[in-house]
Amino acid sequence: MAVISLVLCGLAFPMLVTGVAQVLMPYQANGELVQYHGRVAGSILVAEGFNSSKFFHPWNASASGVEPDITLQDAYSQIPRIHNATGIPSDAIKQIVDQNVEWTMGITGDPYVNVLKLNLILVQEYPSAYSEFS
């Protein structure tokens, strides 16, 4: 009986759920990977390791350490560092942050921004400041 349960719960059910997810929503099932110039730049769902002072950094104090989003205040606090490293006007960086605010519960709740999304926008909008990354 234990072997049957193991096969059903440990193999058959996960394979069924994975198969259904791949058919119904492949983008989400594969981790919501983001492409940049034909290469995978990262996942919207998992924090990426941005070490350069030219980029927004994820909040690594989360329980998992892989939180892909940061609070609006955390994003604003990183603007001076990015401005100093790139020369991009602070107002322009703030505008990028403000245009990409999401909310935890639709239009209510706490505002946040996705780090990968912000960083890709910076690279696309200011290629001269990020020439070593494009």
pLDDT of 75-125, one tens digit each? Answer: 999 999 999 999 999 999 999 999 999 887 767 788 999 998 999 999 999
Report the pLDDT value the prediction gives residue 74, as an integer from 0 to 100: 94
Cα–Cα dist 59/49, whole Å: 10
Is the alpha carbon torsion for 82, 85, 86, 90 positive or negative?
Answer: positive
Q: Where are the domains of the chain?
A: 1-30, 32-133
